[in-house]
């Protein structure tokens, strides 16, 4: 039950991070949003690591954390890029389904993880639930012709790497693998930022990476929430199969939808309503 609670908590925190990060990515360049978020996440995770402590910090755990951070940087950068282009109805479901499918298949096929029958049923229900919740019906297929699918696939692979790598870090190292991942993510995003400055800078925009105070606050808040979500996921993997923890954490698209209904007064589509019911059923099945 502890693993289930932390896995679900990870989903809630990730969902809040995506909601806030999506708002920021519409005001500032996606690389700025991701970089500011990871810098804030680094400070938060390092502070948490100091407060919680660790029995030992094997070098291998830090490398696993660094690989996880690389996946985070790639995943978040392409996710925010897709969101900034208005491809939410495509990129969110594609990235969510890809991000959960790869770790589950890897865990079962390569690592020999064996979820229970009810857990398998929950996994099977969760995948279409994510698509239904995250996707939004459109009157045309124009979004599918753009970069939404490509961004979603790359983001999903990055998210999968993030989950898989962090699950290999031992409990003895505490939350330091999460902090190591933020260092790696920051370094990767700095390289991306330099690339953007060199290739996107033109006479109409002297500073393609400039941002505002409001978007900066949103970006840093998203980063802290994402770091907390990763910490919750790491704890969840220490109490249950990583495949199940991944599925629970990947339920995060439910949260932006619920926030949209309660905060922004948006209306649920029939597709989203069905997805929410399926997600709730999957969550219960994974708890048994």
Q: Where are the domains of the chain?
A: 1-133+146-199+223-285
CA distance 113 to 109: 8
CA distance 240 to 8: 13
Q: What is the pTM of this model?
A: 0.86
Sign of the dihedral defined by the CA atoms of residues 58, 64, 69, 72, in that order: negative
For 40-83, what is each residue's pLDDT tens digit? 999 999 999 998 888 888 999 999 999 999 999 998 878 777 76
CA distance 122 to 104: 12
What are the angstrom distances between the C-alpha of 139 and each of 89, 136, 142, 143, 144? 12, 10, 9, 10, 12
- Whole-number pLDDT of residue 226: 92
CA distance 220 to 21: 9
Other Cβ atoms closer than 10 A to 44: 22
- Whole-number pLDDT of residue 106: 92
Lookup result for tokens 């099977």: 124
CA distance 75 to 100: 13
């Amino acid at each position: 039950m502890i693993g289930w609670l932390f896995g679900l908590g990870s989903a809630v925190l990730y969902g809040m991070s995506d909601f806030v990060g999506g708002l920021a990515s519409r005001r500032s360049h996606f690389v700025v949003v991701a970089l500011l978020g990871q810098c804030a996440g680094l400070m938060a995770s390092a502070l948490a690591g100091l407060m919680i402590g660790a029995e030992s910090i094997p070098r291998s755990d830090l490398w696993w954390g660094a690989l996880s951070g690389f996946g985070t940087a790639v995943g978040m950068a392409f996710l925010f890029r897709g969101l900034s282009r208005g491809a939410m109805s495509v990129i969110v479901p594609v990235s969510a389904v890809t991000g959960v499918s790869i770790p589950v298949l890897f865990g079962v096929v390569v690592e020999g993880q064996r979820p229970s029958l009810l857990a398998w049923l929950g996994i099977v229900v969760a995948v279409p639930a994510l698509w239904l919740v995250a996707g939004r019906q459109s009157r045309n297929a124009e979004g599918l012709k753009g970069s939404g699918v490509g961004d979603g696939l790359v983001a999903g692979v990055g998210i999968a790497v993030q989950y898989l790598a962090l699950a290999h870090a031992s409990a003895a190292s505490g939350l330091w693998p999460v902090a190591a991942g933020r260092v790696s993510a920051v370094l990767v995003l700095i390289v991306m930022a330099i690339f953007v400055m060199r290739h996107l800078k033109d006479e109409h925009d002297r500073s393609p990476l400039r941002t505002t105070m409001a978007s900066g606050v949103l970006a840093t808040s998203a980063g802290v929430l994402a770091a907390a979500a990763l910490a919750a996921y790491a704890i969840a993997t220490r109490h249950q199969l990583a495949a199940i923890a991944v599925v629970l954490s990947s339920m995060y698209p439910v949260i932006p939808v619920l926030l949209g209904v309660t905060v922004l007064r948006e209306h649920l589509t029939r597709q989203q309503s069905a997805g929410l019911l399926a997600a709730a059923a999957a969550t219960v099945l994974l708890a048994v």
